[in-house]
């Protein structure tokens, strides 16, 4: 090959684990299996997971995404409606029952665990402090498990300083599952310093997948000219990965949804790329991005394995009689 046409070398440090967690995988499977069993349309309240590619893929299969249950037409009241992986307030299934709707709750089991921990605090007479991001569906769902006024959202240390409890001896905290491990540790420390009697949840609230993906990024970001995180701008865990990469030493860190969003003109001189994907980002897009780099660079891929994930969350019993094949999930996983 003539010198002018040779591609510059590029090492891609590919994080493992990355991409779909067990809760996301289960939620998508629930929609796919419901479509196979009951036929279209299957309604989904809110984005099933925070990824436009996944949502559009499910729409192509016959899923209809809505924000509220009243949007389901009267003639489709017998069609299933799926609640998203982020969880919903108690008012949502109550509303579904009142409307005589058939619903399938795809809330991630680890989010449900946080709900139970928050409810346990409240049942034991503690005011609940929820560390999380205002407006995130998971936060709305968790706060909606508890009576109004029994939970306070904490986003910053300023919130902790401003909070004046009725009884500082009767407090408990939980956290959103997709937060920065380091940032959350700082907030928890500040809470415990101000309120020494505050009770922690019985188990870690930040989920294994969030922790594992952040650890993998920490291990691979140092010295990277560019670190790409595949994910959506409304994905909390994906945005945290971008922040982790910057803190861990990547010269530049970006969140992209597709290869078309990569600023190719700005990165022509890179020689080391870190690559990961948020828990709601499909592997097929990771493949797309690697292939896009292969077109422009002489790529060598180094797999950086920091943990092995074996978690598997089964779908609800009503869907277990339907076979799920690799081709059913090829729109997100690619073909093997």
Catalytic residue positions? 138
Rounded to whole angstroms, the Cα distance separating 229 from 253 reads 8
Rounded to whole angstroms, the Cα distance separating 278 from 51 reads 10
Rounded to whole angstroms, the Cα distance separating 171 from 261 reads 45
Q: What DSSP assignment string belongs to 232-257?
A: -TT-HHHHHHHHHHHHTT-S-EEEES
**Alpha-carbon separation of residue 103 from 50, 59, 142, 174, 178 (angstroms):** 20, 18, 19, 27, 25
Rounded to whole angstroms, the Cα distance separating 188 from 247 reads 20
**C-alpha radius of gyration, the chain, whole number:** 22
Nearest to 181 by CA among 129, 234, 218, 142: 218
Burial of 138 (0-12, 13-18, 19+ CB in 10 A): buried
């Amino acid at each position: 090959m003539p010198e002018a046409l040779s591609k510059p070398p590029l090492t891609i440090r590919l994080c493992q684990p990355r991409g779909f967690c067990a809760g996301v995988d289960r939620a998508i499977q629930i929609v796919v299996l419901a479509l196979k069993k009951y036929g279209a349309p299957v309604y989904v309240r809110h984005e099933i997971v925070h990824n436009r590619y996944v949502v559009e893929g499910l729409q192509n299969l016959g899923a209809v995404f809505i924000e509220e249950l009243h949007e389901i037409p009267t003639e489709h009241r017998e069609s299933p409606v799926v609640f998203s992986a982020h969880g919903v307030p108690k008012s949502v299934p109550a509303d579904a029952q009142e409307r005589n709707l058939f619903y399938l709750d795809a809330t991630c089991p680890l989010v449900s665990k946080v709900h139970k921990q928050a409810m346990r605090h409240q049942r034991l007479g503690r005011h609940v402090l929820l560390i999380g991001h205002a407006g995130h569906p998971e936060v709305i769902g968790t706060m909606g498990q508890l009576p109004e006024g029994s939970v306070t959202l904490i986003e910053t240390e300023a919130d902790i300083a401003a909070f004046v409890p009725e009884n500082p001896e009767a407090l408990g905290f939980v956290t959103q599952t997709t937060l920065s491990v380091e940032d959350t540790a700082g907030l928890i420390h500040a809470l415990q310093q101000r309120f020494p009697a505050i009770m922690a949840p019985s188990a870690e609230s930040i989920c294994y997948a969030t922790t594992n993906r952040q650890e993998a990024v920490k291990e691979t970001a140092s010295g990277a000219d560019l670190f790409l995180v595949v994910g959506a701008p409304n994905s909390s865990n994906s945005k945290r990965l971008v922040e982790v990469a910057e803190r861990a030493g990547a010269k530049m860190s970006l969140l992209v949804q597709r290869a078309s969003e990569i600023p190719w003109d700005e990165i022509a001189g890179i020689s080391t790329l870190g690559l990961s994907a948020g828990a709601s980002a499909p592997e097929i897009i990771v493949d797309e991005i690697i292939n896009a780099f292969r077109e422009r660079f002489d790529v060598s891929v180094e797999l950086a394995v920091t943990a092995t994930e074996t978690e598997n969350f089964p779908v609800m019993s009503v869907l277990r009689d339907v076979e799920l094949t690799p081709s059913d999930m090829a729109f997100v996983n690619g073909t093997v």
